[in-house]
Structure 1
Amino acid sequence: MTIQTRTIEYTHGGITFEGLLVWDDAFDAPRPAVAVAHAWAGRSSFEDDKARALAGLGYVGFAMDVYGKGRRGATREENAALMTPLMQDRPMLQARLGAALQALAAQPEVDRQRLAAIGFCFGGLSVLDMARCGLPLRGVVSFHGLFLPPGNTAGRRIAAKVLALHGWDDPMVKPEAVLAFAQEMTEAGADWQLHAYGGTMHAFTNPEANDPSFGTVYNACADARSWSAMRGFLGEVLS
């Protein structure tokens, strides 16, 4: 078993994006693939490492990029400046996510009939939008994602299965937003699950998160539990 990687460039709207593909070369036939949507700072070692971990589980992992090649934030202000335009233009975000998924599906290592996506924070919102707008995914997993609906998918049915992994004490996603999300998923006819972790704030999977005043705190127990839940979910939807 050897984990292999390569960067993949793809374009949309005249912008070049760069993702990281990761796979185990012990498999000869195309494998089910899982796209990884990044948090608000842009594609980083965090998402790349998640793609590597997915490859270790036997999937093809792909750390996506929706900001553009080399565009990363280093401060809250820079991160917000990158994320906000896409939060305000969700069709643009969805189109970029679609371009990334199309690039993934085109790779020879990938079984394009068995695709899923996971995402963290802003990436959690992103994968929910991938399901909302009907991209060809079997399932999506949102880790401490934002639940704000996009405004352009009301009335559409959601075919992808949905797993939302949420910190109950997340100040960015209040209980009323959780209930609204549940209602949205139900009205869309989705096969959905919600796991809420008590005593857990936003960004609970990120070991570098340690800012209670901002609401971002790592929680090792919730991190392990959520990854285990994801493994079971992917085993179901990509079998």
Structure 2
Amino acid sequence: MMTMTTRAVAYPADGVTMIGHLALPAGIGRRPAVLLGPEGVGPSDVEHRRADALAELGYVALAFDLHGGRYLSDPDEMLARCLPLLADPGRMRGIGHAALDVVRAEPRTDPDRIAAIGYGTGGAIGLELGRDGVNLRAIGTVNALTTGRPGEAARIRCPVWAGVGSEDPIMPPAQRDAFTAEMQAAGVDWRLTVYGGALHAFHHPPVDHPTVPGVGFHPQHARRAWRDVLALLAECLPVPAELRA
């Protein structure tokens, strides 16, 4: 019986060589694809496992990179790289387009059926792809309620789902309001799910290194957020039953 397969993919972006984790579903022929963006620390086994889970469901999935194959466990180093990145839509779009090119170049990918799912910085990159007018079927973010340059959200051509913890100090109510106002003014088909009692990065299992203040794992909401991501994909980018792994 055929099973899904994985491989590391090196590609240039943001002046460095990125290392993505590509997961391919079993079988042959083209499948819908998902870009999976990590938190600001960069991809880890957490994102790789999520990409693998998507491949098991029949998607081509790329857990894309942010830092040239590095995982930034030092909070100061992570902030020093991510804060300027988050302030520069052009850089974010460059990283996103480079990952998108990898997915589109994969023969198993249906290039007209791609979604972007992301967490933190990776989610912000997915949103910037939408604001850049990329033909995506869905954008899903967790704790990435970033706003863009004036008027550019009108270029988003797909439904947007966003999740955030109610107690997230990095994405507080004022940021939620700014994000939803931007989406509403642009006429985007948007949804926001607020997970009661959850902090920033509530979806990510505990790590063995220091983190920025306001981060905390919430197992129940982590499971719910993943179900919500899968529901978004099932609605907007379904894999036909006969093609599921």
Relative to the length of structure 1, the TM-score reads 0.91
Q: Tell me what 2:195 maps to.
A: 197
| 2: CA distance, partners of 1:219 / 1:115 | 29
How far the C-alpha of 1:5 sits from its partner, in A, is 0.7
| 1: CA distance, partners of 2:212 / 2:51 | 30
How far the C-alpha of 1:47 sits from its partner, in A, is 1.4
Tell me whether 1:90 sits opposite 2:93 in the alignment: no
Could you tell me which amino acid in structure 2 is paired with residue 15 of structure 1?
V
SS at match of 1:156: helix
Q: Tell me what 2:232 maps to.
A: 233
Tell me whether 1:22 sits opposite 2:23 in the alignment: yes
SS at match of 2:169: coil
| 1: CA distance, partners of 2:119 / 2:223 | 14
Contact 1:157–1:189 under 8 Å retained in 2: no
Paired residues for 1:57-206 under 5 Å: 57-68=57-68, 70-145=69-144, 147-151=145-149, 154=152, 156-206=154-204
SS at match of 1:17: strand
Q: Provide, for residues 92-135 of structure 1, a one-character-per-residue CA deviation record: whole Å limited to 9, x for no partner.
A: 11112111111111101111111001111222222222222222
Q: Tell me what 1:36 maps to.
A: 36
Extract unaligned runs of 5+ from structure 2: 239-245
How far the C-alpha of 1:169 sits from its partner, in A, is 1.0
Could you tell me which amino acid in structure 2 is paired with residue 217 of structure 1?
G
Higher relative contact order structure (alpha carbons within 8 Å, sequence separation ≥ 6): 2
Percentage identity across aligned positions? Answer: 35
| 1: CA distance, partners of 2:37 / 2:153 | 25
How far the C-alpha of 1:213 sits from its partner, in A, is 8.3
SS at match of 2:48: helix
Extract unaligned runs of 5+ from structure 1: none
SS at match of 1:118: strand
Contact 2:130–2:155 under 8 Å retained in 1: no
Larger displacement relative to structure 2 (43-52 or 205-214): 205-214
Q: Tell me what 2:242 maps to.
A: none
C-alpha RMSD over aligned residues: 2.0
